[in-house]
Amino acid sequence: MGAPHPQQPGPTKRLLSSLAALFLTCATFVATGYAAILTSEDQFLHTAHHKDLFDTAAPTATTARAREATSLTQTDFKSINTWTATASDAALQLTALRDVHVWVGLKSHHDHRANFVLRAELLKNGQVIATGESADISGLTDDKTQAREVIIAFGGISDPAIAVVDVLALHLSAKVAESSAAKKALGLRVYYDAQSRPKRNRR
């Protein structure tokens, strides 16, 4: 099953829901854009002072930053990036995670026959506590203005209690799908921290 058709930049989508404000992240593949997580407030992906993080400050840049996964195959997921949440000032209890919304595209036009799968993992102190995978993503282009929106739904949360000292993060990875005519791909690229293709999530 393919990813949703391209949409015009607009209000970003929600990611998580919980009893209290929480930190979670999302990202964007190829195409100018940024991602975010929602708690009681929207949170957005950033890179600042050589650190990848998410917080409530909406992006102001017109040019997106980029992260990518390269040399993809059908065997293993390759890491794209990890964004870490800003610290919580209170203990939290996760009750549910909303879908992750990301924009994706090709690293190279040579990969136009490849289909992909994107994985999102919520980490607590470096350990995975929730995972979701996209449906197969097809019909991508290396033209960043034609990025495709992809939605990832999380499964259950294995460890929902979040203490003040706990660190939450979102890790994104990708691989070539089993349905792909091409068995390898040069890669997928993530663009974020810009105004033009807003993303966000809510917990």
- Write out the chain's pLDDT in tens, 203 residues: 444 544 443 333 333 332 222 333 333 222 222 233 334 456 677 888 889 987 778 878 877 777 899 999 999 999 999 999 877 778 888 888 877 878 888 999 999 999 999 999 999 999 999 999 999 999 998 987 788 888 889 999 999 999 999 999 989 999 999 999 999 999 998 777 777 654 555 45
Q: At which residue do the structure tokens 């998410």 appear?
A: 54
Q: Judge contact between 192 and 28, C-beta under 8 A.
A: yes
What is the rounded distance in angstroms from the CA atom of residue 132 to the CA atom of residue 154?
4
Joined tokens for residue 135: 């449906």
Measured torsion, CA atoms of residues 3, 117, 78, 165, in degrees rounded to the nearest 10: 80
Q: Judge contact between 130 and 154, C-beta under 8 A.
A: yes
Q: Judge contact between 129 and 183, C-beta under 8 A.
A: no
Determine how many CB atoms are found less than 10 A away from the CB of residue 129: 21
Which of 41, 20, 62, 66 lies closest to 187 in space, CA to CA?
Answer: 66
Rounded to a whole number, what is the distance in angstroms from the first to the last CA of the chain? Answer: 26
Determine how many CB atoms are found less than 10 A away from the CB of residue 17: 17
Which of 142, 151, 122 lies closest to 187 in space, CA to CA?
Answer: 142
Q: At which residue do the structure tokens 């949409």 appear?
A: 7
Q: What is the pLDDT of residue 43?
A: 63
- Output the CATH code of domain 36-192: 2.60.120.260
Joined tokens for residue 52: 């990848």
The whole-model pTM stands at 0.77
Q: How many helices (H) and strands (E) does the chain have?
A: 0, 13
